[in-house]
């Protein structure tokens, strides 16, 4: 009798590994490791009726990108391939050698086709620093393919990103991304760069232009 009590059997844990393996394989199979990536945008709030008196934006401040249903691109009244859009946009964003525009006679083409500027106080650049009034206007047709639309959005975003990189490199010796990920002072510098090169992409209210 005493012998039986002493030999109380241990639970066999040998199959534990098998059970764990089974669960492991289940989770291995069901796991999707995909990281979602994409282009972040903020839509403008909806207004029932767009206000009648839109503020007049000088034509030279606006970089117009039109895309039609045949996936053709018209940039500043010129036919363009989407591959060239980035460089054209970059040139537009950088170019703010400000001469006093032709505000009095808007019907005349201004002497310079570069956007105007206004003065802004920007840290690290000092007070009254001229900042470009650039706006990029994007209008697409209902028949434009989503692929082209994303290509345009991407090209414009790259243009801004590259200009910011150039500015950040020449002023602070680091790329814009590096500044953003850097210490407090560098983040402050990144903010200044962002203020100087503000990303202004305006999307027109949807319209049907030529099917």
Partner 1 sequence: MQIRKKKKKDLPPVSTASLPDIVFMLLFFFMVTTVMRETSLKVTHVIPKAKEVAKLERKSLVAYIHIGPPLKPLQSVYGTEPRIQLDDAFATPKDIPTFVESVKSQTNEAEVPLLTYSLKVDKDTKMGVVVDVKQELRKAQALKINYSTTKIVDKSKL
List of residues contacting partner 1 (CB under 8 A): 13, 16-17, 20-21, 23-24, 27-28, 30-33, 35-46, 69, 140-147, 149-151, 153-154, 157-158, 161, 206
Q: How far apart are the first and last CA of the chain?
A: 97
Exposure of 69 by Cβ count < 10 A (0-12 exposed, 13-18 middle, 19+ buried)? middle
Query: Measuring CA to CA, which residue among 196, 167, 201, 168 is closest to residue 182?
Result: 168
Q: Which is nearer to partner 1, 11 or 35 (CB)?
A: 35
Please state the closest distance from residue 19 (CB atom) to partner 1, in A: 9
CA–CA dist 97, 91 (Å, integer): 12
Distances in Å between the alpha carbon of 53 and those of 59, 60, 69, 110? 16, 20, 30, 23
Please state the closest distance from residue 127 (CB atom) to partner 1, in A: 32
Q: Which is nearer to partner 1, 58 or 158 (CB)?
A: 158
CA–CA dist 56, 52 (Å, integer): 11
Residues written for the chain: 211
Q: Which is nearer to partner 1, 2 or 40 (CB)?
A: 40
Q: Which is nearer to partner 1, 105 or 211 (CB)?
A: 211
Within a 13 Å sphere around the CA of 81, how many CA atoms are in the beta-carbon half?
2
Please state the closest distance from residue 161 (CB atom) to partner 1, in A: 6
Q: Which is nearer to partner 1, 8 or 28 (CB)?
A: 28
Count of CB atoms within 10 A of residue 115's CB?
A: 24
Please state the closest distance from residue 138 (CB atom) to partner 1, in A: 11
Please state the closest distance from residue 30 (CB atom) to partner 1, in A: 6
């Amino acid at each position: 009798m005493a012998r039986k009590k002493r030999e109380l059997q241990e639970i066999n844990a040998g199959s534990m590994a098998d059970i764990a393996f089974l669960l492991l394989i289940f989770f291995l199979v069901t796991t999707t490791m995909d990281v979602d990536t994409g282009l972040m945008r903020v839509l403008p709030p909806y207004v029932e009726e767009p206000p009648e008196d839109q503020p007049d934006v000088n034509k030279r401040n606006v970089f117009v990108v039109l895309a039609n249903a045949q996936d053709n691109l018209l940039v500043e009244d010129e036919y363009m391939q989407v591959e060239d859009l980035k460089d054209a946009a970059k040139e537009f964003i950088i170019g703010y050698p400000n001469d006093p525009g032709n505000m009095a006679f808007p019907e005349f083409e201004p002497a310079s086709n570069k956007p105007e500027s206004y003065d802004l106080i920007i840290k690290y650049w000092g007070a009254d620093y001229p900042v470009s009034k650039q706006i990029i206007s994007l209008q697409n047709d209902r028949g434009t393919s989503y692929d082209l639309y994303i290509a345009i959005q991407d090209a414009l975003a790259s243009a801004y990103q590259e200009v910011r990189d150039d500015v950040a490199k020449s002023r602070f010796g680091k790329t814009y991304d590096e500044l953003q990920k850097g210490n407090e002072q560098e983040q402050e510098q990144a903010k200044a760069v962002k203020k100087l090169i503000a990303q202004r992409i305006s999307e027109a209210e949807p319209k049907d232009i030529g099917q």
